[in-house]
Amino acid sequence: MNDTQRRFADFKKTIYKAVDDEVLRAALRKAVRSFRENRDKALEQFPHVEEQRKILMEKKEEVLTHLDEMIEKFSASAERMGVKVHMAETVHQGQEIIRELVGSKKLIVKGKSITSDELTVNDILEEEDNEVYETDLGEFIVQLLHGKPMHILAPAVNVPKERVAQLFSELAGRELPPDPAELTRFAKDFLREKFFRADIGMSGANAITADTGSIFLIENEGNIRFATNAPPVHIAVVGIEKILPTFADGSLLVEVASRYAGYYAPSYVSIISGPSKTGDIEKVTIWGVHGPREVHVILLDNGRREVARDPLLRQMLYCIRCGACMYECPVYPIVSGYWGHTYMGGIGIPWTALIAGGWEVAAPMAYACTLCGRCREFCPMEIGTPEIVERLREEMTERRYLPDYVKEMAQKVLTKGTPY
């Protein structure tokens, strides 16, 4: 068996395992039902979101057309506010910047960030003898399991409360009941101590704005607030596609992303425009009052500029990670995050091929897509994922990332109208 055949075979095995996992299937069925109800209610209550999402699409296009200019503008604005901006063209560069900023023997608390997963931040920090804690409850559970997030908004959707109780009991050194309220309270107390002892807080960003150099962060738990405010240093790892032209556009994104994620409004929106400071005593500026005295933004390219130059592929950079497409996909609710690498679901296919994972990893994912087009229908950014996937499949065939049996099946469909 060659590497390509092995990858397809492994993917198939994983998918079959997911299909047989009754707990996962039941959790996803429930998640899909409640997500759809919540999203429909949120969109019905705030019909102007329809107009807002179209404006946001125009803003995204504007940024992608003038990406270098926007990066410069954001950097100048952020530095004016006291933020240190670091440009990372590659994963390696991003990792080196983090190693240098963090050093070793530090305690780091993290808010959920897929962009930091692109840099495998947890692994490189632990390699340098640092202690790292994910603070989003779902991500914390996934970290303790040494597992993989199953959804961008609900990473531990597949883990039953009994398993969480077992994990937390080991950590607590005492028996904890499988009661969601009690388990949440334990996680809160455990992490609260870490927030205030941490040397560094890390986050991603939902948006950053070129005119003010601000970082927008949306959440419900309140952990991102603590992680970005309690430690003396905050490092945000941000993909360059997250830039929006103005502060007002950042607010626009907050509304669109929240409503399409099924919320009337998120519990918290943090907007960070520089380190904490005061001039209250004789007008002398002192950095680091109740919040961090240092804020760093690592802007990550890692293939994004190249993608932005392609008229079809650039659409994938519009993604605001609302998660709506995954709940409408016929494949995702059956296989969840197993259908993914760092990025998951249909939109995860181009992100895996072109940004985080590589063509070989993305090939089996691409052939699990039905090309039905429901994702595009429900996507606030109207991303043409099926067209992108078709294009990638063509390239995968040319680059020989397909095992022979897939090619034979495709040939049979073309000549006989059936794969069998």
The footprint of ligand SF4 (CB under 6 A) covers: 319-325, 347, 379-381, 383
Nearer to ligand SF4, 134 or 328 (CB): 328
CB 226, min distance to ligand SF4, A = 26
Nearer to ligand SF4, 363 or 381 (CB): 381
CB 14, min distance to ligand SF4, A = 22
Nearer to ligand SF4, 323 or 364 (CB): 323
Nearer to ligand SF4, 293 or 374 (CB): 374
CB 381, min distance to ligand SF4, A = 5
Nearer to ligand SF4, 384 or 403 (CB): 384
CB 145, min distance to ligand SF4, A = 24
User: Are 302 and 90 in contact, with CB atoms under 8 Å apart?
Assistant: yes
Nearer to ligand SF4, 323 or 337 (CB): 323
CB 174, min distance to ligand SF4, A = 40
CB 106, min distance to ligand SF4, A = 33
CB 146, min distance to ligand SF4, A = 26
Q: Which residues of 41-73 are buried (b: 16+ CB within 10 A; e: fewer)?
A: ebbeebeebeebbeebbebbeebbeebeebbeb
Nearer to ligand SF4, 295 or 319 (CB): 319
DSSP string, 43-112: HHH-TTHHHHHHHHHHHHHHHHHTHHHHHHHHHHHHHHTT-EEEEESSHHHHHHHHHHHH-SS-EEEE--
User: Are 231 and 195 in contact, with CB atoms under 8 Å apart?
Assistant: yes
CB 328, min distance to ligand SF4, A = 8
Structure tokens at 14: 């994983």
Nearer to ligand SF4, 38 or 166 (CB): 38
Question: What are the angstrom distances between the C-alpha of 209 and each of 78, 94, 98, 242?
Answer: 9, 21, 22, 8
Nearer to ligand SF4, 56 or 334 (CB): 56
CB 330, min distance to ligand SF4, A = 15
User: In degrees rounded to 5, what are phi and psi of residue 151?
Assistant: -155, 150
Q: Which residues of 262-290 are buried (b: 16+ CB within 10 A; e: fewer)?
A: bbeebeebbebbbbbeeeeeeeeeebeee
Q: Report d(CA 322, CA 380) in Å as an integer.
A: 9
How many CB atoms are located within 10 Å of the residue 208 CB?
27
CB 157, min distance to ligand SF4, A = 15
Nearer to ligand SF4, 255 or 294 (CB): 255
**Cα–Cα nearest to 70, from 242, 234, 217, 237:** 242
User: Are 203 and 134 in contact, with CB atoms under 8 Å apart?
Assistant: no
Nearer to ligand SF4, 176 or 379 (CB): 379
CB 379, min distance to ligand SF4, A = 3
Angle at 50 between CA 46 and CA 55, to 5 degrees: 120
User: In degrees rounded to 5, what are phi and psi of residue 207?
Assistant: -160, 155
Q: For the chain, what is the total number of helices (H) and then of strands (E)?
A: 20, 12
Beta partners for residue 133, in sequence order: 109
